Amino acid sequence: MEQYRDERGKPEASIIVEIEQLLEKFDASRAAYHGGDFNGVACRRIVGNANEICQRVMEILVRQNCENCDEKTIKEIVDQLEQTLGLLDAAFAYLSIMYPTDDEKKKARDAVDALSKQWRDIGLSISLKAHVMEVHVCDFHDKCGVGDKEESFIEQGHQIGLKENRRYCGLKNFIKRTESALKARSVSTHSLVMQQKIEVLHASKRTKKDDTNPTLKRVKKDEKKKEIEKQVKREAYVSKRNK
Ligand SMILES: [Zn+2]
C-alpha cells in the first residue's frame, strides 16, 4: 500500500477508506482499544479470508487507478499479498492445533517454511516475531506443541484486578484496600470454597439439548464442510510455495 502511495505521489484517502469498509464486512475493524491497529481476532479474520479479500482489494485498486500503474502490476502485487496472507493463515492454523500428531507437526513445519520463503522473497523485514516464527517455533512445536500455550490468562489477570478495584473503590486508604483485596482473593481460592463453587456450577448446569435437532445437525455439518474447505485452501497455499 505504501509503495503504491509513493508511486502515485498523493494520499489515497478514498482507496484506504474503501478497503477499510471492505474489511469491516469481514468483521475486521480497527479496535479502538488496540491503539487503532487491528487486533489478533481481526487479523485472524483477514488472513482466513485472504482469497476473497484480495480479490475485492484488487477490484478497488484497478477501479481507482489513474493510469500510473498498469493492471498487470496491481494484479502481481495483490497476488503476492494473497499468498502471504494465506500462508500466515496456514502456519497459525497448524501451530494452534493442540497435541499435534507427527503429520500435523510436519504440516506446521511445511507451512512455516513456505511462509518464511514468501516473507523473504517479497522483502518484508525480519522482525523479532518473524525470526521466532522462522527459526524457533517449530522446534518447540515438535517437542511439546504450542497450541495450548497462549496468553489469555494475562488478559484474565487484568480482569480480576479490575473487578477488585471496582469492589473496593470505596476504600480510600491504600493499605486497607490492598488488604481487603488480598483477603477476598485468599478466601475465593480456599479449597473448600472452590469445591463449593464447582458443586454449585454442576448442580445449576442446564442439561445439554440432544443433537437430534435437525437445524443444529445441519449447522454442525455446514461447519464441518467449511472447515474442510479451509484445510484444502491452506494446503494449496503451502504446496504452491513449496513446489
Ligand atoms: Zn533466535
Q: Return the number of other C-beta atoms located less than 10 Å from residue 240's C-beta.
A: 13
Tens of pLDDT, residue by residue over 43-67, are 989 999 999 999 999 999 998 876 6
pLDDT at 160 over 90: no
Residue 1: the pLDDT is 66
CA of 124 to the centre of ligand 1 (A): 18
Pairwise pLDDT comparison (151 vs 25), residue with the higher score: 25
Contact present, 237 and 90 (Cβ < 8 Å): yes
CA of 134 to the centre of ligand 1 (A): 9
CA of 138 to the centre of ligand 1 (A): 12
Per cent of the chain over pLDDT 90 is 42
CA of 88 to the centre of ligand 1 (A): 20
pLDDT at 9 over 60: no
Cell numbers representing residue 219 in the block? 449447522
Give the domain ranges of the chain.
2-149+225-242, 159-205
CA of 116 to the centre of ligand 1 (A): 14
CA of 82 to the centre of ligand 1 (A): 27
Location of C-alpha cell 522482525: 127
Residue 2: the pLDDT is 67
Radius of gyration of the chain (CA): 24
What's the whole-number average pLDDT of the chain? 85
CA of 14 to the centre of ligand 1 (A): 41
Q: How confident is the model at residue 126 (pLDDT cuts 50, 70, 90)?
A: very high
CA of 108 to the centre of ligand 1 (A): 18
Contact present, 50 and 85 (Cβ < 8 Å): yes
Q: Identify the CA nearest to 104 among candidates 96, 135, 236.
A: 96
CA of 133 to the centre of ligand 1 (A): 9
Residue 158: the pLDDT is 66
Buried residues in 193-226 as b, exposed as e (16+ CB within 10 A): eeeeeeeeeeeeeeeeeeeeeeeeeeeeeeeeee
CA of 228 to the centre of ligand 1 (A): 34
Average pLDDT, integer, range 74-93:
95
Cα-Cα-Cα-Cα torsion 104, 28, 77, 15, nearest 10 degrees, comes to 180
Average pLDDT, integer, range 132-148:
90
CA of 131 to the centre of ligand 1 (A): 6
Tens of pLDDT, residue by residue over 161-206, are 777 778 888 888 888 888 888 888 777 778 788 888 888 888 887 7
Tens of pLDDT, residue by residue over 13-41, are 788 889 999 999 998 887 656 677 888 88
Residue 84: the pLDDT is 96
Residue 34: the pLDDT is 64
Please give the distance of CA 211 from its chain centroid, rounded to a whole number. Answer: 30
CA of 154 to the centre of ligand 1 (A): 24
CA of 129 to the centre of ligand 1 (A): 10
pTM for the model stands at: 0.68
